[in-house]
Amino acid sequence: MPELALNGGKPVRGRMLPYGHQSIGEEDIQAVVEVLRSDWLTTGPGVPAFEEAFAAQVGAKYAVAVSSGTAALHAAAFAAGIGPGDEVVVPAMTFAATANCVAFQQGTPVFADVDPATLLLDPAQVEAKITPRTKAVIAVDYAGQPCDYDRLRTIVDQYGLVLVDDACHALGGKYKSRSVGTLADLSAFSLHPVKGITTGEGGVITTDDPKLVQRMRVFRNHGIISDYRQRQEVGPWVYEMVDLGYNYRLTDFQCALGLSQLRRLPGWVARRQAIARRYDHAFANLPAVNALRVRPDVSHAYHLYVIRLNIAKLRVDRATVFAALRAEGLGVNVHYIPVHLHPYYRKQFGTGPGLCPVAETAYEQIISLPIFPRMSDEDEEDVIDAVSKVAGVYAI
């Protein structure tokens, strides 16, 4: 039996391997430097160039670039017309921003439980949460696996709701050969460094509806419009603030980085999928370690590789396994604490334990392992060795 690093033994790795990391090449640096030497640091030609390339990449008609994934969700919530008194169904197993965007608009997030095998929003649970006040559903492509959009579309059409995809994990993923970014009325992406591509911080919303695009372009710029005819009549300084908007603009040098990164997206998704296949294969022999189920009709973008511990086959809890993996040099993480358990939601919306039992149980058992395109074959082996070592030592 190997001695765990936690107990003073030799760790599998000396240097911590993070769970996610950006891939920045010389071409990315050159693209950013070129913009820094130009006249336009923001609101210049780089923004539409990136938006057009992003829309083309996912096969949507339009893309709107904003300053973060959170801003993308907020713009989508605004464009969807969510306001005071509106309810929006969101999954419990997600990052807080999915629900926060509803609260930003003074709506009420209504938490629905997830499927135990995939941890994706369960369409049956969505339907159970619909009331006459429901305005929209925000699906989350958790870990990078697209939700069941055929079933979700049937439900939203039946009740006349807007369907938003929180696609922050899933750039490059597919559902029944259709790309993420085309599966909902509005799809929100994050360009944070651990995501599919990065602009440092950044976000994008894709849609096929030009009216929604117009609303989001105004929203990201303080709610300001500048009407050509008025400027002719009154003066070139004239503009009007017609909505309560924000400064959610993405800079030109960030857009240049995004455009440069986008070219390598397909290769990076393939690399993530190859790492996941290797993990699946290695962990199939470990009774205490289960991979999440991947449906046969999807192409998984693997922003995260999440394992679910079979606690009945271990003599310790998740926290101990987590600490042991960290001690072995893996920068493991947990995605996520169910949102309805956060103090803000308990206080403001009266949520709490028992509301979404599947998500709550899963939360006690999940761990995200390192997965990112620039990982070496040795890094992959270290992950497999560390998980096998820890699961072996703690196995019953």
Ligand X SMILES: Cc1ncc(COP(=O)(O)O)c(C=O)c1O
Q: Which stretch binds ligand X (CB under 6 A): 25-33, 95-103, 120-128, 273-281?
A: 95-103
Residue 11 or 203 with smaller CB distance to ligand X? 203
- Judged on CB neighbours under 10 Å (0-12, 13-18, 19+), 82 is buried
Contacts of 263 (CB under 8 A, 6+ apart): none
- Per CB under 6 A, does 95 bind ligand X? yes
Distance CA 113, CA 353 (A): 12
Whether the upstream peptide bond of residue 336 has omega within 30° of 0, thus cis, is yes
Q: Of residues 98, 182, 206, 351, which one binds ligand X by CB under 6 A?
A: 98
Binding mask 22-61 for ligand X (x = CB under 6 A): ----------------------------------------
> How near is the Cβ of 165 to ligand X at its closest, in Å?
10
- Catalytic residue among 195, 313, 347, 389, which? 195
Binding mask 164-183 for ligand X (x = CB under 6 A): --x-xx--------------
Q: Which stretch binds ligand X (CB under 6 A): 118-126, 163-171, 369-377, 380-388?
A: 163-171
- Per CB under 6 A, does 373 bind ligand X? no
Residue 169 or 308 with smaller CB distance to ligand X? 169
C-alpha to C-alpha distances, 382 to 186, 368, 395, nearest whole angstrom: 39, 15, 19
Nearest by Cα to 190 from 254, 240, 275, 283 = 254
Q: Which stretch binds ligand X (CB under 6 A): 33-41, 92-100, 111-119, 352-360?
A: 92-100
Phi-psi region at 187: left, alpha or beta (left = phi > 0; alpha = psi -120 to 50): beta
- Per CB under 6 A, does 140 bind ligand X? yes
Residue 195 among the catalytic residues: yes
Q: Which stretch binds ligand X (CB under 6 A): 93-101, 229-237, 253-261, 370-378?
A: 93-101
Contacts of 176 (CB under 8 A, 6+ apart): 150, 297, 298
Q: Of residues 46, 62, 68, 146, which one binds ligand X by CB under 6 A?
A: 68
- Residue 196 token pair: 């599919």
Q: Which stretch binds ligand X (CB under 6 A): 94-102, 127-135, 228-236, 306-314?
A: 94-102
Q: Of residues 74, 135, 192, 300, which one binds ligand X by CB under 6 A?
A: 192
- Per CB under 6 A, does 299 bind ligand X? no
Total number of residues that touch ligand X (CB under 6 A): 15
Instruction: Concatenate the DSSP letters of all residues of 249-286 into one string.
Output: PPBHHHHHHHHHHHTTHHHHHHHHHHHHHHHHHHHTT-
Helices (H), the chain: 26-36, 46-58, 69-79, 96-104, 123-128, 149-159, 210-219, 228-233, 252-262, 265-283, 318-327, 343-349, 357-363, 377-394
Q: Are 306 and 341 in contact (CB under 8 A)?
A: no
Q: Of residues 57, 105, 108, 190, which one binds ligand X by CB under 6 A?
A: 190
The catalytic site residues sit at 195
Q: Give the binding site for ligand X (CB under 6 A).
A: 68-70, 73, 94-95, 97-98, 140, 166, 168-169, 190, 192, 203
